[in-house]
Amino acid sequence: MNDCLFCKIIAGEIPSSKVYEDDKVFAFRDINPQAPVHVLVVPKEHIASANELNDANAGAVSACFTAIPKIAEAEGLKDGYRVINNCGAAAGQTVMHIHFHLIGGRELGEHIV
């Protein structure tokens, strides 16, 4: 039994505002956006966090980062954007299915990292 929220969104069992999909990646708008564009880029393979990555599953991450420029262009982020991964509870990860926040559409500043 898979109780993962993002697996259910990928499967279409929970509705989302999809912006991109290919055979390995699903991307949809964050329900609580922090900027005019805030998309969650998620591999279809269930990997709990960046801390679970290894040689066997890291292709899921490259698939996400190959999708990101396509999504950014479609969202009009020609001046730049930020990609964020929260890994683990202490970093604020609330959904334990690895995902990348693609954020843009406003001046983001230099001070998150």
- Among Zn ion, ligand AMP, none, the one that 7 touches (CB under a kind-dependent 5 to 8 A) is Zn ion
Residue 97 known to be catalytic: no
- Tokens of residue 105, six digits: 């559409």
Pick from ligand AMP, Zn ion, none: which does 97 bind, CB < 5 to 8 A by kind?
A: Zn ion
- The token pair at 61 is 């991450």
Binding part of the chain for ligand AMP, among 26-34, 59-67, 73-81, 103-111 by CB under 6 A, reads 26-34
Closest CA to 100 of 25, 4, 17, 15: 25
One residue of 31, 56, 112, 113 binding ligand AMP per CB under 6 A? 31
Give the CB-side neighbour count of residue 9, counting CA atoms within 13 A. Answer: 25
Q: How far is the CB of 11 from Zn ion (least distance, A)?
A: 9
CA 18 – CA 9 distance, rounded (Å): 9
Does residue 46 interact with ligand AMP by CB under 6 A?
Answer: no
Q: Which of 24, 86, 105, 108 binds ligand AMP (CB under 6 A)?
A: 86
CA distance 43 to 98: 7
**Residue 95 in the binding site for ligand AMP (CB under 6 A):** yes
